[in-house]
Structure 1
Amino acid sequence: MAHSVAMDNPSATLETFRNYNIYHYMWARHPLSWSLPNLSLVGNVDSLREVQDHQRRASKETKDNINVNMSLRELFEEGLEQEGRVLNALALPYICDTTYPVSATSFWLVATKGTISYMHCDCHGVGTVVEVLCGRKLWYIFRRRGSSADDSMIEEYMGDWAPGFIPSPDEWEAEVVLLEPGSAFYMHPDTHHAVLTLENSIVKGHHIYATTTLAKSVTGWIHTCMLEYRIANVLHPELHKLLLRIMCHFYRVMTNDDDKGFHYLEIPEMSRNGLLDIIALGNLCIFSSALLPCIEESPEQVKIAIATATGAYLSLIRYLKARCCLIFLSSPENEAAAKLPHI
């Protein structure tokens, strides 16, 4: 999707994201070079950070990554070497003082050529947006064939994946996207993917919760809670509070007496799919107490937030029940009704 098309039609773009990943191109951005001044955009180039050394593994059996402490300056110098170490700095946080979980929702990725991020899902049901500012990456996407199959875990392929390998082609389909400066990629929640870094790269990334994919976000949240590092490479449990806030926001906006709340882009569309997204998020709020052991280090601190979000959801459902009607437009006889407003 061209950048101009997405900007001119935000509601259509959001609805497209309900069913498809989006490759965003023709973005008028000047590419960055692999240099210390550009790496300083990420942060202090001399501060020590946790970096994956992809040429080392904990053991042949587990193939777990070895993390080392290294500065961006050292990583930059390794990237200049003809046969330098293969290093991957994940989830470098933006610099921000707000209490909003910016370190979980906006981040930098810095990697030297040859880095491979093996098959995984991004944690806690987030959609992922990546914009390559320097270098090039191949982004591999894997989807299980058929909508009813469970695709939460493919552990048998996670340790030995290599570029070009597709797990069980009869059961899985794959696509590859080339990301380079001027392009961005919007990836669905709970999507298996792997990444190959072709050149030393600097990438700006975001984790998002979109109104059109909330049901998939809740599914991804449960998968992360149950399987943790077996399917994800980074965990951000602080995003739980963000989902609780989103439910409270839905209630506050949608219960406005002037009805304008139903027409904001950040509110689920009042259709069957939109209602199912609200119900999915509401169920997560209701059952959060059962998930607390794998969500929060200090469960007591979030119980009030869970109760508030649950109350907001139940009140919203009562409000919708009193004012809205859901019509299933599945037969020719109902074509005339399709022109009627949903609300």
Structure 2
Amino acid sequence: MPGALVLMGSGETSPTMVEVHRAVARGLRPGAHAVLLDTPYAFQENAADISARARRYFARSVGLEVEVATGVTGADWVFSGPGSPTYALDRWAASGVAGDLRARVRSRQGVTVLASAAACTAGLATVPVYEIYKVGAEPHWREGVDLLETLGLRAVLIPHYDNAEGGTHDTRYCYLGERRLARMERELPPDTAVLGLDEHTALIVDLESEEVRVAGRGGLTVRRPGSVTVLPAGTRTSLAAVRDLAEGGTPGAVPPPPDVAGPPEDAVTLEETIRSCEELFKAAVAGPDLVAAAQLVLGLEAEIVKWAADTEEDSGGVDQARELMRLLIARLGEAAATAPLRPLVEPLLDLRAELRGSGRYETADALRAAMARGGVLVEDTPDGPRWSLTP
């Protein structure tokens, strides 16, 4: 069976990575033994729920029946994803799984898929992200499983490379930010490269042909002191070319990917869908086009169903989408109640604005009071007047 190593920056059980999973699963034999290593999140109270959602995702979206296990012996396909990198490292080292994973890649047999926390362990050193970002430990490295060494790569792997959850503070580079990563780079062994894998992005290595492909919506960054090279999604190259970059070579040997207009539809994240839906809904209600607004709510509900198996807890997740859907349904009800009055109320508001603009405040206030007696409450806001029906 041809071997493959797949590393994912995030989105491992979301619609954005379905085609990547399907592509590598096509080479498996019928009835392949597929294993889900739950170690990174096994300490969590909801571990059973995470496993159940992941199994449903792989069964329904990829066509793989997956067994939850603590070892990889005899497995044709192995997957491990979110959780704590250091919790996984400690248990994999003690149980021999770390050595078994290296042996799989070294023998060029079977499919090995590591994502998020598990992908963090793939290099010679690992970012202890929980300890640094959540607990406040001093920036430091932990020894990694170092699957990359079996490919001739002296490197560390950092998922969530383009994370932007921090808003006003830097959470790129798996929540380290530039300041901490720059400090940690100086502590790496000489000639060690940083491979940064963006969210909802996969690095796929065909272990037989040594072809390398970047898929998804972001890119792979090869970072060394004084140089940064980004291989965007769509890049196809060789493992030798990536080794050359990691050793300080120039990117000339890596062909650019074909031009694309933007990320494919299945690479749009749920967070982006939430933002777009909210803006389009606002425009539809202002139209007013209540049919379009209702269709947007139904579309959001369909996206929630698609993303329900996602095991990560990033911003813009399913819970946030459900909260928005409830809010939009309430606003849709309000809009439906006020729609028949809109042709009457809007001209009165325009008249009130003209009166206020010409300094005739007493008349404008009288108009507002008359509207209130008629059951229309006018409220002045920084964005302009807003009206609603009084109870």
Q: TM-score, normalised by structure 1?
A: 0.27
